[in-house]
Amino acid sequence: MSVLPDVDAAAAVADLLRGRRWVALTGAGMSTDSGIPDYRGPTSVRATPMQFQEFVGSEEARRRYWARSYLGFRRIGEAAPNAGHLALVELEDAGLQGVLTQNVDGLHAAAGSREVIDLHGRIADVVCLDCGHVSSRPELQQRLAALNPHLDEPPVLERAGPSTGGRRPQAPPVHAEMRPDGDAVVEDWSGFVLAGCAGCGGRLKPDVVFFGESVPRPRVEQAYALVDRAEVLVVLGSSLTVMSGLRFVRHQTKAGRPTVVVNRGTTRGDDLATLKLERGCSETLTGLVSRLCWR
C-alpha cells in the first residue's frame, strides 16, 4: 500500500483511473458533509446498535427502536446530497460504472447516480415482517406523529427559583441525537405508541439490514457482478469494519485488480489497498472531476 502526501493524492488517483472502468464503494464518511454523522470518526455518535433478533423478538425493543428512528428520520429525511455525491454523478463520464453503498440515506440516488446498489437497504422504505408488504417511510412518519403528538409539542415552561427571576423550559419529553443510519439516541421511549402494518397489523421494520442480519444474496451477487465489470475499486468513507464492504476489497485483491481507499483514519482494507488517501470524500471527488472530466 502507498499512502500519499495530500498534495499528490488526487493526481495519483486520477492517473490510476484515467481510461479505466471503476466502481465506488461508499460508507458513512461519504455523507458527513450532508450533516449525517458517521460511526467511528470525529462526528460519530456512540450507541449500541439494534440487533435483528432483539428487534424481532421483543415488542419493547421495537418500541425503543421506533422511538429513536421516528425522531432521527426527521433529520435524515431533510439531508441533501453533498459535493461528493454530485461529483460521482459527473464522474460517470470518466469511467465510473456504478456505486455500491453501505449507507441507507438514499443520497446517491437523490444526486442522480444512474446505477446504485444499496447494500444495506434504504431507510425510506418500510417492510412488514409478517406479510412482506413494503410501504413508504414518510407515510409511516405521519402515522407515528398522529399516535405520538406529544413528541411534537413545544417544551413546557416550569417556574424557576427566585434567583432566576422568571421561568425556564423543562427538558422535552424525549431527547434525540442523530446517528448515521437515521436512528437517534433517545433517553425515554416508555410512552411511545407503535404503529402496525396498515394491511395486516403486523410488525413493521425499516427495510434495512440490521446488525446480525445478512445482506440478501441476490443483492450481493449483483454487487459482485458490478465490481467484476470494472478494473478499479474505489472505497470512499468506509472503515470496512463489517464484512459487507470488506469482502469486495478482498475479492478485488484476489482478482489482481487495484483498490483505492479514501478515508480519514485506519480501515480494515489498508493492507490490501494499492493507494490509501487520508482525505475527505468531497474534496477528493471534486478534485477528480477537475482532472478527469471535460467541461
Q: What is the CATH number of the domain that holds 215?
A: 3.40.50.1220
Is 195 within a domain?
Answer: yes
**Residue 264 domain boundaries:** 2-161+173-292
Please determine, for residue 163, whether its predicted confidence score (pLDDT) is greater than 50: no
Choice between 284 and 155, residue whose per-residue pLDDT is larger: 284
Q: Which of 118, 145, 144, 147 has the alpha carbon at shortest distance from 207?
A: 118
Choice between 5 and 189, residue whose per-residue pLDDT is larger: 189
Is 167 within a domain?
Answer: no
Averaged over 219-237, what is the pLDDT?
Answer: 98
Per-residue model confidence (pLDDT) at position 150? 81
Is 40 within a domain?
Answer: yes
pTM: 0.83
Which residue ranges are tagged as binding site for Zn(2+)? Answer: 128, 131, 197, 200
Is 177 within a domain?
Answer: yes
Query: Range with the lowest mean pLDDT among 63-72, 114-123, 158-167, 252-261?
Result: 158-167
Q: Is position 120 annotated as part of the catalytic site?
A: yes
Q: Which of 252, 260, 256 has the alpha carbon at shortest distance from 15?
A: 260
Is 269 within a domain?
Answer: yes
Q: Is the Cβ–Cβ distance between 208 and 181 less than 8 Å?
A: yes
**Residue 5 — pLDDT band, cuts 50, 70, 90?**
low
Please determine, for residue 132, whether its predicted confidence score (pLDDT) is greater than 60: yes
Q: Domain total for the chain? A: 1
**Residue 73 — pLDDT band, cuts 50, 70, 90?**
confident
Q: Which three cell numbers stand for residue 168?
A: 425556564
Considering 85, 108, 120, 175, which one is annotated as catalytic?
120
Is 166 within a domain?
Answer: no
Mean pLDDT of the chain: 85
**Residue 156 — pLDDT band, cuts 50, 70, 90?**
very low
